[in-house]
Structures are given as C-alpha cells and as structure tokens.
Amino acid sequence: MKVSREQMAENRRRILDAASRLFRDKGFDAVSVAEVMKAAGLTHGGFYGHFNSKDDLIAQTLAHVLAADSAGAGDLRAYLDAYLAPRHRDNAAGGCPTAGLAAAIRHQTPAARSAMTEGLRSQIDRISEALPDLDPADRRRAAIGSWAAMVGAVILARAIDDRALSDEILEETRAWIDAGISRVSAS
C-alpha cells in the first residue's frame, strides 16, 4: 500500500521527534535506529525511506529540534527563569538540545556540526533581540556570554549528584546573567 505525502511527512516528523528525545536523553551512540523507529511507532524497514544513514538522522534531528527550540527569548528574564530551573535541568529528554548534545557534537559529521552551528546562531540572535537597549556590539557580547553561561550551567547542574549545589548553580548563574545585563544596560 502506497503512503500519501502527508503521511510520509507525518512519519518523518514522528521519527525526528522520537530521535530528538532519545538522543537528548541517552546520547547519540547509545541509541539505535531500531530504537528510534520503535519509539516513533514505525517499523525499522521504513527508516531508509526517510534517511540515508544514522548520521543523516542525527544531522536532520539536530536541525529539526534546534529549529523547534528557537521560540521564546522575547522576555529574557522569563526565558532565564524557565531555562535555569530545576524543571528544565531534570528533563534532559525534553530540554535544551544544546545543553543535552553539545559535548557530543564534536564527534559527529560535518552536517551535524553545521546544524548545531545554525542552532547556536539562532539562539544568539534571539537573545540579542531581547536586549534592544544595548548597542549592537554589547548586545551580541551579552547574548553570547549569556547563552554560554546558561548552557554551561545546565550541563554542570545535570552532571552532579548534589541537589543543593545543582540548584545553586542554576540560581547563581541566573543572578549573574541578570546582574550583567542590568549593568551593561545602565552604561
């Protein structure tokens, strides 16, 4: 039976969504194509109708999830509060793909690295747009520093087994970014 274009597109989206959650939760190497297809509710045999290889799946999943993750830095303080929160820290599978996958990207294909690069550019631009009171150079500097601190804080907060220290990392990073942005805005 032939599958409609609409069903093919829906199946592809399901695969990308399943892969995204699994890769963020377990990492690239720990997830098999069969596991992705099962999580998407599809048979393993249909994989190659959508992707050339697991490497292709990784690159396309990154592009998909990073594009979907590009909403929401309009209110920077609200974004900081949501991003640097225990709820986000505790939801690696549904959380930020950059924090979940950045360290493993260096071992991936150029296409995967390119997708991560575009996602990083998008986040920097989004945060920059949320800082309209700054001149362009200060806005970009604050956006890059803020994003790097945010991602780093989530990575560190997830890596340790001391809940109080983990919470403190999130809280203090949020306060540090907020103070820095306020200081630069006042200049």
Give me the domains of the chain, ranges plus CATH numbers: 5-65 (1.10.10.60), 71-186 (1.10.357.10)
d(CA 143, CA 83): 14
The string of pLDDT tens digits covering residues 109-147 is 999 999 999 999 999 999 999 888 888 999 999 999 999
Enter the pTM of the model: 0.87
Q: How far is CA 40 from CA 12, 36, 92, 123, 185, in A?
A: 9, 6, 18, 28, 46
The string of pLDDT tens digits covering residues 33-81 is 999 999 999 998 889 999 999 999 999 999 999 987 665 556 888 999 9
Take residue 13 and report the two structure tokens written for it.
């989206």
Higher pLDDT, 1 or 24: 24
Measuring CA to CA, which residue among 69, 75, 89 is closest to residue 170?
89
d(CA 148, CA 85): 16
